[in-house]
Structure 1
Amino acid sequence: MDPLEGEASSASVEYEPVSVKDVLVEMKDTAELLIDLSYSAVLHRNEDLAQEVLRLEERMNVLELRARMSLMLAARNPADAEQLAPVLGIVAAADDISDAAGDIAKIVLEEMGLPDAMRAALPEAAETLVRVVVDPDSSYADRTLADIDLESETGVRVIALRRGDEWLLNPGPETTVTSDDVALLRGPEAAIGDVCETLTGEPYESPSIDSPGVPDLERAVDTIIHMKNLSELAVDLAYSSVLFDSAALAEEVRNLEVEVDAMQSRFEAWTLRAAADAEEPIALRGLIRLGVSTEVISDAAIDISEGVLRDFDVHPVVQLAVQESDEIITRVEIEPGSELDGTTMTGGVPDVDSTMSVIAIRRPDEGWILVGTADAELRAGDVLISKGTRTAAEAFDALSTSS
C-alpha cells in the first residue's frame, strides 16, 4: 500500500459546524480538478501528478463525510428529507468521481502498464498540465497572480495551489504564490516550459512521443480519449442541469452516458484485438482500467442530475453551491429555416450576432461532436450545447427557432 494511502485512510473526522453550501462548492471544484489531474497523470506518465490525485481523493473523502453529517442534521421532517435526498446523491456522485480518479492515478503509481499510443494520442495543440514546486529564489515567489500577470503574458494558468495540506482551488488575482507551494499549471506546451523554469529554477523537459504502429490500439486509444472528453462534458452538464433546474440538460447527460457506454463496448473490443499484435499485451492492463474508470465518471454525472430527471425541487443550497458566475450552459435545437441553420462556425463561435460559444453538438446521424476551437457548419436538427451569459443565451435561443 502507498504510504500516503495508509496514512490518509486512518485519519479521524469529527463533526464541525460548516456551511453545506461551502462543502458542496469545494466538492464540485475538487471533482472537476480530479478528472483533469488523473488523466493528465496518465497521458504524461507523471507520478507527481498521480500523487496529488491521491491527496485530493483523501480530501474528498473528508468533505463527503462532513457533507453527510450536515445533511443528516438538516433533515427534520419528510419534506426536508425529500428535498435533501438528491443532495445526498450529488455528494455520493462527487465521491464516485474521486474514487475513479484515484483508480486512474494508480495506473501510473502501480505501473500497471500503458501503451505508448496514449502519449501519442495527445493533440499537438493540446494544453499541458504540470506540477511544480515554487523555488524560494523564483521571481514569482511571494507575489500575487495579478502582479505576475501570468495568463496574459504567457497563456499559462495556475489552476490550483497546495500549501502543505491546504488546497487553494481556482486561485484568484489576489492569491499570493509563496515559496514551496505546489503549483498546478495548465497552458500551451510552447509556453509552459519557460514558466516552469522560472518557478522552479530547473530546466523543463518535454516528454518524447513515439508512434504506436498498431491500428487497433490506435482506435482504442482514440476512443478512450473521446470517452474522457464526453464524460467531462457530462459532469459539466449535470451540475448545470441542477443549477438551472433544466430537464433538457439533464436529458443530454443521459444521452452522453448512453454514448459513453456504447463507446466503452467498442473500446474493449479494439483493446482485446490489439493484444494479439502488441509486443507486450500486459501493457494494456492500464488501458482497460482507464476505460472502466471513465465509464464510472459518466455514471456519476447521471447521479448528479437524477433529482432533476425525477422532477424533485432543487434545494436552494445546491443552486448556491454550483452558481459561481454569470456564465451559463444552454441547450438549443436548430429548427429548419432558422438563422443558425447552415451557419458556419469559426473557433467554436457561430457566424451570427451572438457571443455564445458552442462546446458540443449532438447530431442525429453522427452522435456527439466536441467542438472546442474547431470549424464546422451547423445544420437543422443539431442540438447545441453552448456557454455564454444569460442575455446572450436568450438571444441565441431565438436564433435557433424558425420564424
Structure 2
Amino acid sequence: MDPFEGETAAVSVEYEPRSVKDILVEMKDTAELLIDLSYSAVLHRNDDLAREVLRLEERMDVLELQARMSLMMAVRNPDDAEQLAPVLGIVAAAGDISDAAGDIAKIILEEVGLPEAMRAALPEATETLVRGVVSPDSAFADRTLMDIDLESETGVRVIALRRGNEWLLNPGPNTTVASDDVALLRGPDTSIESVYETLTGTPYESPAVDVPDIDDLERAVDTIVHMKNLSELAVDLAYSSVLFDSEALAEEVRNLEVEVDAMESRFEAWTLRAAADADDPVVLRGLIQLGNSTEVISDAAADISEGVLRDLDVHPVVQMAVEESDEIITRVPVERESTLDGATVISGVPDTDSTMSVIAIRRPDEGWLLVGDSDTTVQAGDVLISKGTRTAAAAFDDLSQA
C-alpha cells in the first residue's frame, strides 16, 4: 500500500488580504504541533499520526506562500524592506521546521527503519499524544470543551482538531467537538486510555516497550531525545525573542543551537559504534535521519532569532502580535542571596510567591536542565527560562535579584 494513500492533492494558492500577524501566529502554532506530532508518530509507530504530520506540512506550505505574498504587498520603501527581512526569515524557518517534521514522519510511512529502543526512551521526553476520530455515539460529540471539562477532570487536553481539511489549533473552551472530527489529545498515561475510548468508542492500545540491549545504542537514543527537547525549547525561545525583541533570549537560542550541534556529533559516533553490534544495522537508518532532522529544527530556531541578534528593527506587525500575547517567556539570571537562590522547583513551579513556571535552566557547569516532572533546586548563577503573564514576569525578575 502506498504510504501516502488518501493524502489530499496540492491546492492552488491565490493572494488574499489576510493579516500577516494572523498568518505568523498560525505558522508558529503549526510548527510547534508538527514537532509534537512527528516525534509521537515515531514513538508509537503510528501511521495515522504520521499522515496528520504530512497534512499539516501541506497546510504550512500554503501559509508560507500566503505570508510571502502579503509581505511583498507590504513593501513600499527601503525601510519597509529592512523591517520585513527578519519576518521573511521567520517564514522560511517555519517552513524548514515543517519539512524536518515531514522527514521524521516519513521514517514511519516509508519504513526507513528505527530501533525498538526508541519506544523505551521517548516516553520520558514527551507526554502521551494520541489521535482519535470522534464517534457519533461519543459522550463528547456535539459538546463544547467547557461543557466536557476534560482537562480539569482527567488532565488530558485537546490540543488540535481537524474537521475535513480545516485545522482548529489551540481550541478554546467554546470550541465544539463534532462527530467525525480528528482529535489530537495529550495527557498522562493513566487517563489517556479511558478518554480515548470515550472519544472513539474503541480501546486504546499502548505501544510495547523494549529495553535497549546495546550500550552505545542506548546512549545514541538518549542523546537524540535530549536533542529533541533542546531543539523544541530553542524554537519556543526563538519566537519569543522576536516577538519581544529580546537579544538575551536570542543569545540563548544560539547557545542551544551550538549545544545541539555538538550533541549531534556524539550521537553519530554512538550510532556508528552501535551498528557493529546490531543484528541488523539497516534499522539504524531511521535513527540517523531523526538526528539530522532534529538538527535542522535547531538551525531553524537560530534563523528565526537572527534578526534580533543583528539588531534589525522589529516590524510593527510583530509588535501587534506581541500585544495580543497573554503569555510570555522570560530569561532571568539568578543572583546570589536572592529569593530564587536555593528555591525548589517542583514540576516547573518554584516554591516562591510567583505564578511563573520554569521550563528550563541553563547552569554554567552542567549546561541545560529541562524542567518537567523532575524536581530541582535553583542555584546562584543559573539562568531560568520561564513562562507566565507579564505581571508575573516582572515580579519574578525582582525575586532573582539580591
Contact 2:358/2:371, CA 8 A, preserved across alignment: yes
Q: In 2, Cα distance between the equivalents of 1:355 and 1:175?
A: 27
Contact 1:96 1:296 survives alignment (8 Å): yes
Correspondence 1:194 to 2:194: yes
Task: State the secondary structure of the residue aligned to 1:132.
Answer: strand
Long gaps (5+) in structure 1: none
In structure 1, the partner of 2:253 is 253
Bigger CA drift: 122-131 or 308-317? 122-131
Q: Say if 1:119 and 1:343 are closer, same or farther in 2 by CA, change over 3 A.
A: same
Who is 1:277 aligned against? 277
Q: Distance in 2 between matches of 1:290 and 1:135?
A: 34
Residue aligning to 1:378: 378
Contact 1:243 1:323 in 2 (8 A): no
Please say if residues 197 and 204 of structure 1, whose CA atoms lie closer than 8 Å, have aligned partners that are also in contact: yes
Cα distance 1:399–1:87, how it changes in 2: closer, same or farther (>3 A)?
A: same
Q: Is the 8 A contact 1:8 1:58 kept in 2?
A: no
Structure 1 residue aligned with 2:35: 35
More off after superposition, 322-331 vs 209-218: 322-331
SS at match of 1:186: strand
Work out the CA distance in 1 between the residues paired with 2:345 and 2:13.
51
Query: Are 1:121 and 1:222, in contact at CA under 8 Å, matched by a contact in 2?
Result: yes
Superimposed CA distance per residue, residues 129-165 of structure 1 (whole angstroms, 9 cap, x where no aligned partner): 0111111111211111111111111111111111111
**Deviation of 1:395 (Å):** 2.0
SS of residue matched to 2:395: helix
Contact 1:242–1:319 (8 Å) recurs in 2: no
Structure 1 stretches of at least 4 aligned residues deviating more than 6 Å after TM superposition: none
SS of match in other structure, 1:8 = coil
* CA distance, structure 1, for counterparts of residue 272 and residue 182 of structure 2: 39
| CA distance in structure 1 between the aligned counterparts of 2:238 and 2:365, rounded to whole angstroms | 24
In structure 2, what is the equivalent of residue 103 of structure 1?
Answer: 103
Q: What count of residue pairs does the alignment treat as equivalent?
A: 401
CA distance 1:382–1:349, change in 2 (3 Å): same
1:8 lines up with 2:16 in the alignment: no
Secondary structure, in 3 states, of the residue corresponding to 1:275?
Answer: helix
Q: How far apart, in 1, do the equivalents of 2:218 and 2:3 lie?
A: 32
2:133 corresponds in structure 1 to 133
Which residue identity is paired with 1:330? T
Report the equivalent of 1:177: 177
**Is 2:21–2:318's contact at 8 Å kept on the other side of the alignment?**
yes
Superposed CA deviations along residues 209-237 of structure 1, whole A, max 9, x for unmatched, are 11111111111001101100101100100
Write the mapping of 1:333-344 to structure 2, written as runs, cut at 5 A.
333-344=333-344
Which residue in 1 is equivalent to 2:357? Answer: 357
Aligned pairs for 1:109-128 (under 5 A) are: 109-123=109-123, 126-128=126-128
Tell me, yes or no, if the aligned pair for 2:3 and 2:110 is still in contact at 8 Å: no
Amino acid at match of 1:8: A
Q: Tell me the distance in 2 between the aligned counterparts of 1:124 and 1:262.
A: 22
Once residues 81 and 125 of structure 1 are traced to their aligned partners in structure 2, the CA distance between those partners, rounded to angstroms, is 41
List alignment gaps of at least 5 residues for structure 2.
none
Q: Structure 1 counterpart of 2:312, which letter? A: F
* Segment drifting more, 372-381 vs 73-82: 372-381
In 2, distance between residues paired with 1:150 and 1:327? 22
Q: SS in structure 2 opposite 1:121?
A: helix
Hey, what's the Cα distance between the residues in 2 that align with 1:175 and 1:283? Answer: 42
Corresponding residue for 1:17? 17
Question: Which letter does structure 2 place at the counterpart of 1:209?
Answer: V
Calculate percent identity across the aligned residue pairs: 81
C-alpha displacement of 1:348: 2.3
2:158 is paired with a residue of what secondary structure? strand
Alpha-carbon distance change, 291 to 3 in structure 1, aligned in 2, over 3 angstroms = closer
Higher mean C-alpha displacement, 246-255 vs 204-213: 204-213
Tell me what 2:90 maps to.
90
Do the aligned residues in 2 keep the contact of 1:341 with 1:378 (CA within 8 Å)? yes
Deviations along 1:309-365, one digit per CA (max 9) or x if unpaired, are: 111111121233366543211111112232222333222222222222211111111
Deviation string, structure 1 residues 4-48 (Cα, Å, up to 9, x no partner): 698534x32121221111111111111110001001000111100
Cα shift at 1:198:
1.0
Instruction: Give 2:232's aligned amino acid.
Output: E
